[in-house]
Amino acid sequence: MNTQSKGLFAEIRSDFPLLQRRVDGRPLVYLDSAATSLKPDAVIRAERAYSEEYTANIHRGIHLLSEEASAAYEAARHRTARFLKADPSSVVFVKNATEGLNLVARGIGLTKSDRVLTSLAEHHSNLLPWMREATMRFVERDPLLPLDPAKVLQAVETHRPRVLALSHASNVTGIIEPIAEICQALRGREVLVVVDASQSAPHLPLDVVGLGCDFLAFSGHKMLGPPGTGVLWGRKDLLEGLAPLVLGGGAVTVVSGSHYELKPIPYRFEAGTPNIAGVIGLAAAMDFLDRVGFESIAAYEEMLAAKMETELSNVPGTRLIMSTQRRRLALAEVVLTSSRLGPDEVALMLSDTFKIMVRSGFHCAHPLFEQLGLTRGAVRASAYLYNTEDDISELANALRSILK
């Protein structure tokens, strides 16, 4: 990474108002982006403009403001389609990835005789919706390495699942899964591939056709967008056959006392008034990310990941868990070796004494922590494009002070 690129990312920091905040006179170090990212001015302004300039419901009124709001909302859909290299009609706005995954799990008509294949490294949001509907099977894997497409194929042939549900990137280890290679390996098999892209959408370019998956879901709040926004993309023929999770106004064309007719996709999946301001803000977030460029983001984050690996692996009293692959997220788990000091206590001290915001606990991935033998959880640091190498050094120094 050259100095000019570093300078670009240093300038980006000024786009994030929260980084100007001082707590007890000190600036914040935000290393919890895998949970929720900070919001740039552009996103805040876009959301605010809806409330200040053209507040109205969409797709219903014919007055000026409603038309403006509808246009902005649909422009966001087109923007999202470009982000995914997909058709706008295959883009469904949901409140988050969890809702998107639930919509698929509920809507494809699974029964307990159906099997869903996944991995124990999944976030609860990509386990529980399937667990409720079907019978679970798991790909055997080393959770600290990316999945082996050949092993996935073997598991598919063994278990014959109706669905393969995988995350694109891990919120615990930062590992990026070879989804395209897995889909390639499964070509011709009768299995739906559903991808949880919550952790990849903020960091990697997404090309749903190139990936070869059938459904893909992600949340807006982890990729600079507003909370309460998310996207489910699906192959159009599959969306046509998907039963909506929620019914109501906006999802139907005809309603009588005894029957109704659904609107075409994607509107049938968006009953009720959606998070209009949020969706408009999400489109602004995508603009922001594309302006910076995912290639630059990936290179910059790899520099942060390398810094994490160097700095955090030298903190006495800890063990570091993070991906060692070349393609990875800048995300690390700091496991405390002392049985007398817990991750929550350390995270609280990092926050209140050092103003460093990190996550502690099990990160909604209990089965993975169990598999890793981490019964007390860990402290997670997750960086994004507004972080600096100094942030990582501050974290390492603070941990050394606490664990001296």
- The active-site residue out of 8, 357, 364, 402 is 364
For the bound state, the minimum distance from the C-beta of residue 350 to other proteins, rounded and expressed in Å, comes to: 11
Subset of residues 2 to 31 that bind other proteins, contact rule: CB under 8 A: 24-26
Q: Which is nearer to other proteins, 224 or 398 (CB)?
A: 398
Q: Which is nearer to other proteins, 313 or 351 (CB)?
A: 351
- 22, β-bridge pairs: 27
The answer to whether the Cα torsion of 265, 270, 273, 275 is positive or negative is: negative
Per-residue binding string, other proteins, 315-334, x by CB under 8 A, is: --x-----------------
Q: Which residues contact 350 (CB under 8 A, 6 or more apart)?
A: 356, 357, 358, 379, 395, 398, 399, 402
Residue 196 token pair: 């949880």
Q: Does 295 bind other proteins (CB under 8 A)?
A: no
- Binding part of the chain for other proteins, among 14-22, 128-136, 186-194, 337-345 by CB under 8 A, reads 337-345
Q: Does 352 bind other proteins (CB under 8 A)?
A: yes
- Cα–Cα distance measured from residue 332 to residue 320, given in angstroms and rounded to the nearest whole number: 7
The only residue of 2, 340, 373, 375 in contact with other proteins, by rule CB under 8 A: 340
Active site residue 213: no
Return the H-helix or E-strand segment holding 308: helix 294-312
- Binding part of the chain for other proteins, among 2-10, 80-88, 277-285, 342-350 by CB under 8 A, reads 342-350
Is residue 205 within 8 A of residue 294, CB to CB? The reply is yes
The Cβ of residue 190 has, within 10 Å, a number of other Cβ atoms equal to 9
For the bound state, the minimum distance from the C-beta of residue 334 to other proteins, rounded and expressed in Å, comes to: 13
- The number of residues that bind other proteins (CB under 8 A) is 20
DSSP line for 109-131: T--TTSEEEE-TTS-GGGTHHHH
Residue 184 token pair: 């390639």
Q: Which is nearer to other proteins, 351 or 393 (CB)?
A: 351
CA separation (Å) from 162 to 90, 152, 191, 385?
A: 21, 14, 5, 37
- Binding part of the chain for other proteins, among 48-56, 127-135, 293-301, 335-343 by CB under 8 A, reads 335-343
Q: Does 338 bind other proteins (CB under 8 A)?
A: yes
Q: Which residues bind other proteins (CB under 8 A)?
A: 24-26, 317, 336, 338-341, 344-345, 348-349, 351-353, 401-404
